[in-house]
Amino acid sequence: MSLLSRLFGTERDPREDIRPLWHALVAQARNKHWYAACGVADTLEGRFDMITAVVALAIVRMEQDEALSRDTAYLTELFVEDMDSQLRESGVGDPTVGKYVGKLVSAMGGRIGAFRNAVSGERAMEDVVEKNMTLNDGADGTKLAAGLSDLAARFAGISDDEFRAGNIAA
């Protein structure tokens, strides 16, 4: 989509096809179960970790199917757009937003790789959780690792059309 098309609205934004999935993933990451039962810290860091975990698992699922793989870029753009907005709302100024967003995208890229390895069996999900998630004091991550493994399996069992439409709830 060209810049002029975006500015003047002559073409439909292709991200709109994937926006329902984005909203469903955010809702999934905000599910109280992750925080109350699985030990994710209900802090800014913990919430960021949870959204990146859920989005990373979605991207890993999407990469496994040619019909969805092109949409991973759009999903990533929606992630960046949301993070930019959240930073601005929290008072981060224009000169530094780009730097912060760059760090967040870099963290997301690392998480995608880590969760890709966990889903493929190359790495234990417990290890990924230990290194990438902010947990409450005393939480060992076992329940969270099991929950994220279950989520990845659930994502794998959803048809492409249903997944793209954001129909991911259990």
95: buried, middle or exposed (CB in 10 Å: 19+, 13-18, 0-12)?
exposed
Domain-located, residue 128: yes
Domain-located, residue 147: yes
Average pLDDT over residues 96-101: 68
Give the pLDDT of residue 99. Answer: 72
Give the pLDDT of residue 165. Answer: 94
Task: Name, in order, each residue with C-beta under 8 angstroms of 147's C-beta and a sequence gap of 6 or more.
Answer: 33, 34, 37, 38
> pLDDT, tens digit, for every residue of 109-162?
899 999 999 999 999 999 999 999 999 998 889 999 999 999 999 999 999 999
Helix, strand, or coil (residue 24): helix
Give the pLDDT of residue 101. Answer: 66
- Answer whether residue 94 shows pLDDT above 90: no
C-alpha dihedral, 143 to 104 to 85 to 163, nearest 10°: -50
Domain-located, residue 54: yes
Domain-located, residue 1: no
> pLDDT, tens digit, for every residue of 21-74?
999 999 999 999 999 999 999 988 899 899 999 999 999 999 998 889 889 999
Give the pLDDT of residue 4. Answer: 62
Domain-located, residue 5: no
Q: Could you tell me which residues are beta bridge partners of residue 40?
A: 135
Domain-located, residue 169: no
- Structural domain span for residue 122: 14-164
Give the pLDDT of residue 169. Answer: 84
Number of domains in the chain: 1
